[in-house]
Amino acid sequence: MEEIREGILIDKMLKAEVVDKMAKDFAAEARRQIAEIESNNLAVASSPAVAEAEAKLKKMKAEIEAAPDKAAKFAELAKANSDCPSKDKGGDLGAFSKGMMVPAFEEVAFTLEPGKISDPVKTQFGYHLIMVTEKIPAVAATDKTPAEPEKVKASHILIKTPSVRPVPKADELEKMLKSMASRQNVQEFILSTLKESARNGSVTVAEEFESLLPPVEPAPQAAPAKPVEKPAAK
């Protein structure tokens, strides 16, 4: 019964002004997190690591383009400098179709001609030099084989930099924060709000909310046992 009473109180309170306060708190938290992300991104943009990464990759590009065997030089520099696990294969990423890489990387890879080296490309992972080694045309489906999308074979050299974080929309972040709040958190918030209000004298819990609760029914009592009659003395 106590759990039922508590549940009714919570449901009623969720329709009252406490909900408005919770909504304001979620909105404030969403704004705080967005401001933190934007501050991080500004710091990343002005970080010396960004300028150093771009300068390092531009220097490597010049070395590769001056080499008699560009592919071999690219692989050599990838093994020595790349922050990607593909460095063990000279930066080789194999063949990939659209949708398999992050958009900024993919856009450059599918526009480069084979044998060409890109300028430094910025993604959330850092800065890349990209070299396309082969373009594989799309293949139409037949009765026996499925269609194959256009692909490219490419290698890259990655220099990691502090990450730029995507900035979410305020309303979407607020919804996410609400969905993460469990019923237990809601209950704790309501109870703490009630206690604070009671301390401030702005609400009297007994007067305001007692009427919302079902009456506590007394527990049924067992009927008194009948006295055992003693046999009459002979």
pLDDT band at 210 (very low <50, low <70, confident <90, very high): very low
What does the mean pLDDT of the chain come to? 78
Give pTM, 2 decimals.
0.56
- The pair of structure tokens assigned to 183 is 């019923």
Provide the residue type at 107 as one letter.
E
Residue 180 pLDDT > 90? no
Confidence at residue 207, expressed as pLDDT on a 0 to 100 scale: 46
For the domain bounded by 50-160, which CATH number is listed? 3.10.50.40
Query: Percentage of the chain with pLDDT > 70?
Result: 62
pLDDT tens-digit series, residues 34-90: 788 788 777 777 778 888 999 999 999 999 999 999 999 999 999 999 999 999 999
Residues 166-177, mean pLDDT to the nearest whole number: 72
Q: Give the Cα separation of 105 and 122 in Å (integer).
A: 8
pLDDT tens-digit series, residues 23-48: 567 777 777 887 887 887 777 777 78
51, 159 contact by CB (below 8 A) = no
pLDDT band at 153 (very low <50, low <70, confident <90, very high): very high
Q: Where in the chain are the domains?
A: 2-41+168-212, 50-160
**Lookup result for tokens 């009671």:** 198
pLDDT band at 105 (very low <50, low <70, confident <90, very high): very high
Confidence at residue 187, expressed as pLDDT on a 0 to 100 scale: 59
